[in-house]
């Protein structure tokens, strides 16, 4: 073997040994780290003011390890940019320390964002450690381990529901088997009776087209059974009006039935009798007897009840006549 061949063989052995040593070194660094749940990596040696990841001064081994680590989607990372805190100069003069620190913060943040852009994920921030680089804090996302007790409880509930469904299915099949053989029993649902009563005060007015009218305060009692009510009311005027024959007052009484299918409206029908009488003798000067039917609007405690009336009217000066008229009652519920 010549001297030249011996030299080439020695160089080849050196290259192979160096490569094997490098691979063992990288494997020794990466294997323990990959088995960890979290850790810290430094990407160091940026040139002053640089945030370029192609900077030849960057620690390529650490960057290669980070590239390998970021292939795992379960890894969460935070990139904290750092700077060497050098004082900045402009036009050969040192800038104010506050300005210099702001420029250093911008440099820190730009280095962290460069790594974030490289991998497309991660959060960024800054650290005030005096290093020209990026501190990478990483951890694996915790695996969601199901709660065995909760799973067992859900499983037991599911089994119970399955048993209930089977039971219902069996009952339905039994009903189908007896269909036509037994006469189904009639189910009667009895509506419960709800008793109530109300006292109302207000005004009642009746009038006809020929000028007959009564207007008086009223007091009413309503006795309710569910949607139906017995309605009793009456009133007399506390005031007097003068006439050639003496002072006159007015009064009325009413009895009827009302139906309230809804809380705010209903209908009613009833009979009424009204008088105009002399206050000194209590003898009447005119009187009317009739039927009234109308509608009821209710808002909170107030009721308005307009009605159409047909009544027989007679007086001391006129014979009995039938008249079509109207009545209106405005009441306020006291209870």
CA distances from 165 to 8, 157, 160, 161, 168 (A): 85, 12, 9, 6, 5
Provide mean pLDDT across the span 71-99.
79
Percentage of the chain exceeding pLDDT 70:
81
d(CA 146, CA 166): 29
d(CA 82, CA 111): 8
pTM comes to 0.43
The three-class DSSP label of residue 140 is strand
Residue 19 has pLDDT above 70, yes or no: no
Structural domains of the chain, with CATH:
36-140 (3.30.1330.60), 195-333 (2.40.160.20)
Residue 191 has pLDDT above 70, yes or no: no
d(CA 115, CA 119): 7
Provide mean pLDDT across the span 272-277.
92
* Ranges 38-47, 77-86, 179-188: which has the least confidence: 179-188
Residue 243 has pLDDT above 60, yes or no: yes
Average pLDDT for the chain: 82
The tokens describing 86, both together, are: 């050098």
Provide mean pLDDT across the span 155-179.
83
Greatest Cα-to-Cα distance within the chain, rounded to the nearest angstrom? 163
Residue 85 has pLDDT above 70, yes or no: no
Give the model's pLDDT for residue 3: 47
CA distances from 116 to 37, 108, 135, 200, 218 (A): 21, 13, 12, 79, 85
Give the model's pLDDT for residue 268: 96
């Amino acid at each position: 073997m010549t001297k030249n061949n011996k030299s080439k063989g020695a160089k080849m052995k050196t290259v192979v040994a160096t490569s094997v040593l490098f691979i063992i070194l990288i494997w020794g660094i990466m294997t323990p780290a990959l088995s960890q749940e979290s850790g810290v990596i430094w990407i160091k040696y940026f040139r002053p003011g640089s945030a370029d990841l192609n900077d030849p001064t960057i620690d390529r081994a650490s960057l290669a390890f980070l590239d390998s680590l970021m292939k795992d989607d379960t890894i969460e990372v935070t990139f904290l940019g750092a700077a060497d805190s050098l004082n900045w100069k402009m036009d050969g003069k040192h800038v104010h320390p506050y300005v210099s620190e702001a420029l250093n913060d911008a440099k820190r943040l730009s280095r962290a964002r460069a790594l974030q852009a490289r991998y497309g994920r991660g959060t960024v921030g800054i650290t005030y450690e005096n290093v020209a680089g990026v501190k990478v804090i990483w951890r694996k996302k915790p695996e969601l381990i199901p709660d065995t007790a909760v799973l067992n409880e859900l499983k037991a509930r599911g089994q119970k529901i399955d048993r209930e469904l089977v039971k219902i299915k069996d009952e339905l099949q039994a009903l189908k088997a007896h269909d036509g053989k037994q006469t189904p029993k009639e189910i009667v649902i009895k509506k419960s009776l709800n008793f109530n009563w109300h006292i109302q005060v207000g005004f009642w007015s009746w009038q006809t087209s020929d000028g007959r009218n009564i207007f008086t305060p009223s007091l009413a009692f309503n006795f309710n059974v569910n949607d139906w009510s017995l309605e009793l009311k009456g009133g007399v005027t506390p005031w007097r009006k003068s006439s050639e024959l003496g002072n006159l007052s007015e009064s009325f009484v009413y009895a009827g039935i009302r139906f309230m299918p809804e809380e705010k409206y209903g209908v009613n029908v009833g009979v009424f009798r009204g008088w105009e009488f002399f206050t000194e003798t209590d003898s009447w000067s005119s009187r009317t007897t009739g039927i009234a039917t109308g509608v009821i609007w209710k808002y909170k405690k107030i009721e308005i009840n307009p009605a159409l009336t047909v009544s027989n009217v007679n007086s001391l000066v006129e014979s009995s006549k039938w008249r079509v008229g109207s009545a209106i009652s405005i009441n306020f519920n006291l209870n």
